[in-house]
Amino acid sequence: MLSKSQIKLIKSLAQKKFRAQHGLFTVEGIKGITEFLNSSFQLKELYTVQSIFEVSDDKVNLISDTELKRISQLKNPNTALAIFEIPKSKDVTSNQLILALDDVRDPGNLGTIIRLCDWFGIKDLVCSLSTVDCYNSKVVQATMGSLTRVNVSYVDLEDFISELDTTIFGTFMDGDTIYGSPLPQEGIIIMGNEANGISESIERLVTKRIAIPRFGTIKATESLNVATATAICLSEFKRELI
């Protein structure tokens, strides 16, 4: 049976400040938990309604459906909830293509972008401190396991970029078309906030302004969603390798 203090700890991990304080985050569902178990992430505790995971006994807590419902952040909880340790982020490998996010707020967007990094072989994702936490349960859910394979760092983005000696790509409506000239396999690509794009302090550091051209004839077309814009940019940088 779950103790009150266990329930309190697990539920507190829904909030960023408690995740940071305890250095822990939650993963839900068989598929997601299995991905993290098969990675370098360290399991802290597993709460499950079925013994289906290969995990040392002292970390397994068999619980009832009602108990799972109590600790889950999902409407429809799926079999198990695991607590993992938040790892230290590794150093950024700066001689490769890096993706940077300047204040991306939507958990679904960040999850999709982490999945895209995984797909396109981008090892380092660098996020501004105001970008949504990658250990937010909605982000973890949306990454479909990709979070185990992408090194996500939170940094003062202005400081970080200032110290780089590489091309700083920024996406803007008035940039040069990304379809125009060969793109390098080195540099950093910055994607901006959902509503406001790249912030002014970061814009000043951009050395190459790029844009995804609009093909629709009507100018009213809204800008692209940041996750789909990222998909198109990464595809365009990586296609050179084929």
Q: Give the other-Cβ count within 10 Å of 75's Cβ.
A: 6
In angstroms, the CA 152 to CA 89 distance is: 6
**Could you give the CA distance from residue 204 to residue 8 in angstroms, rounded to a whole number?**
45
Among 120, 135, 160, 169, binds a second copy (CB under 8 A): 120
In the complex, minimum distance from the CB of residue 145 to a second copy, in angstroms, rounded to a whole number: 6
**Please, what sign has the CA dihedral across residues 190, 196, 202, 208?**
positive
Among 35, 45, 67, 124, binds a second copy (CB under 8 A): 35
In the region spanning residues 202 to 241, those forming contacts with a second copy, defined by CB under 8 A, are 212-218, 220-222, 224-225, 227-229, 231-232, 235-236, 238-239, 241
Stretch in the footprint of a second copy (CB under 8 A) among 43-51, 110-118, 127-135, 194-202: 110-118
- C-beta of 88 vs 219, nearer to a second copy: 219
Taking the complex as a whole, the smallest distance from the CB of residue 189 to a second copy amounts, in Å, to 14
Q: How far apart, in whole angstroms, are the C-alpha atoms of residue 176 and residue 109?
A: 25
Asked if 11 interacts with a second copy (CB under 8 A), we say no
Q: What is the 3-state secondary structure (H, E, C) of 51-81?
A: CCCCCCHHHEEECCHHHHHHHCCCCCCCCEE
Distance CA(52)–CA(62), nearest Å, equals 11
Give the interface with a second copy as residue ranges (CB under 8 A).
Answer: 35, 108, 112, 115-116, 118-121, 144-146, 149, 177, 179-180, 212-218, 220-222, 224-225, 227-229, 231-232, 235-236, 238-239, 241-242
